[in-house]
Amino acid sequence: MSTLSVFMDVPLAHKLEGSLLKTYKQDDYPNKMFLAYRVCMTNEGHPWVSLVVQKTRLQISQDPSLNYEYLPTMGLKSFIQASLALLLGKNSQAIVENRVGGVHTVGDSGAFQLGVQFLRTWHKDARIVYIISSQKELHGLIFQDVGFTVYEYSIWDPKKLCMDPDILLNVVESKQIFPFFDIPCQGLYTSDLEEDTRILQYFVSQGFEFFCSQSLSKNFGIYDEGVGILVVVAVNNQQLLCVLSQLEGLAQALWLNPPNTGARIITSILCNPALLGEWKQSLKEVVENIMLTKEKVKEKLRLLGTPGSWGHITEQSGTHGYLGLNSQQVEYLVRKKHIYIPKNGQINFSCINANNINYITEGISEAVLLTEGSEMCLPKEKKP
């Protein structure tokens, strides 16, 4: 038997992604906490699942009329139609003009992979990508892998402690940039489904062409099934069909048939007014709960006498938001308090619950009080 390996030149890969989670898992401290999960968590610390999903899943598994045949490469048609109407609104100008389409993909990473392969082939002159910094690790690598140069930017202003998307919008509006949106959890920002995609409606109204990765994992609580769509908005139906036909060829090589279960559950919910109502109600409850958590965090920081104004916590929508801490304060929380937070200080507020809120807010307060340079991020409350 030969002992010389065909693979002898293949080294062990460095793991770039998930290193914070990896460090967290290796930490033996009993009260360690991870505040950077991608998904919405329940008060009990489990990934959230909309109750209507469980019910629908059971109904589907009991339905003898359903088949389990391969989906077409483009995916489940009714899923795509229902999801596009959800994303842009049923009366969207682009839908009425029949110039919006989508490919059912294996989650949002699949949507980015497919879109990137298309852009590499058909948009050859463009080789530079600007990506929002919080998405760089997850999606930026997909662009890098095929030869794009990736620059990151942030719309979070650490001085003013607020979002400032204006600079980006100005650049994009000059139409020198092709927009590739990411809508990872419509409905989990404000619980108003339309409000959460207002930016897309604006770009449609301005006549833009764009790609959008639409994920329905997080807002339904179906994480394990790859329920994504690569959305294409073109200037007319003819161009749309050309783009979709090329995407079909690329998807054939990638996975040939996307997975069905999650898409089937979501379609059943979106197409049934009663189930749709239950889903919307569940979103509302989640968003209200997150807002309540943020209020509590802000109030506790105030009661602890933490220097600084913490209004920016409740001014941000959605599960994820910036704490407004500088890198030393983040480092302090990770090292000294075993509270795992990304370097940019953007946390998942749904990871905070009645069991850990005191420990977390006391930790933040301590970090702000004890670290040097803490005034860097607290311009509003600077003492003379």
Closer CB to a copy of itself, 236 or 358, in the complex = 236
| Closer CB to a copy of itself, 182 or 248, in the complex | 248
- CA gap 197, 185 in Å, rounded: 10
User: Nearest approach, Cβ of 121 to a copy of itself (angstroms)?
Assistant: 9
Closer Cβ to a copy of itself, 121 or 358, answer by number: 121
Measured from the CB atom, the residue of 93 and 353 that comes closer to a copy of itself is 93
State in angstroms the smallest separation of the CB of 109 from a copy of itself.
Answer: 4
Give the nearer residue to a copy of itself in terms of CB position, either 247 or 330. Answer: 247
Nearest to 265 by CA among 89, 102, 63, 90: 63
Whose CA is closest to 104, among 224, 203, 251, 245?
251
Of the candidates 207, 202, 234, 194, which has an alpha carbon nearest to the alpha carbon of residue 102?
A: 234
If 0-12 CB within 10 Å is exposed, 13-18 middle and 19+ buried, where does residue 248 land?
middle
User: DSSP string spanning 142-182?
Assistant: HHHHTT-EEEEE-SEETTTTEE--HHHHHHHHTT-S--EEE
Query: Pairing between strand 128-132 and 149-153?
Result: parallel
In the complex, the smallest distance separating the C-beta of residue 65 from a copy of itself, rounded to whole angstroms, is 12
Q: Tell the smallest beta-carbon distance from residue 244 to a copy of itself (Å).
A: 9
CB of residue 257 to a copy of itself, shortest distance in Å: 6
CB of 184 to a copy of itself, least distance (A): 12
Q: Smallest distance, Å, CB 17 to a copy of itself?
A: 6
- Distance from C-alpha of 308 to C-alpha of 266, rounded to nearest angstrom: 43
Long-range contacts of 372-376 (CB under 8 A, 24+ apart): 372/328, 373/326, 373/328, 374/307, 374/326, 374/328, 374/329, 376/326
Nearer to a copy of itself, 186 or 260 (CB): 260
Residue closer to a copy of itself by CB (options 26, 62) is 62
